[in-house]
Amino acid sequence: MGLPVGRHIVPDKPLPTNDELLWDNGTPFPEPCIDRLAPHIGKYEALAWLCGGLGFFATLGLAAALNDKASKIPYTPKVYPYDNLREELGDRP
């Protein structure tokens, strides 16, 4: 059946410069290891998206910290199994 990425070729001569930057998967067109993601997006637009995303998560964390009920009540509230103290003590309404 063979390997999933083609034959393993042992180099018999020196490798070219920056050979580690190409992923040779056995196809006629090797892929670059570092993708050139989005050349149509400018650096200031990318910075705006980054700041917007970080600002969203910072706001979410701040809202969670302000709405933390566990720190406001550090103990478990008492829960009584019956709410009939007057009847238990014999008091009539």
pLDDT in tens, 10-57: 888 898 888 888 887 777 887 888 776 667 888 899 999 999 999 999
Tokens of 58: 């910072």
Tokens of 42: 């400018």
H or E, element range at 43: helix 43-66
Signed CA dihedral, 19, 22, 23, 29: sign only: negative
Cα 23 to Cα 14, 27, 32, 66, 87: the distances in Å are: 17, 10, 6, 49, 81
pLDDT in tens, 1-11: 556 666 677 88
pLDDT band for position 72 (cuts 50, 70, 90): confident
Q: In the block, which residue shows the tokens 């070729």?
A: 9
pLDDT band for position 58 (cuts 50, 70, 90): very high
pTM, two decimals, is: 0.45
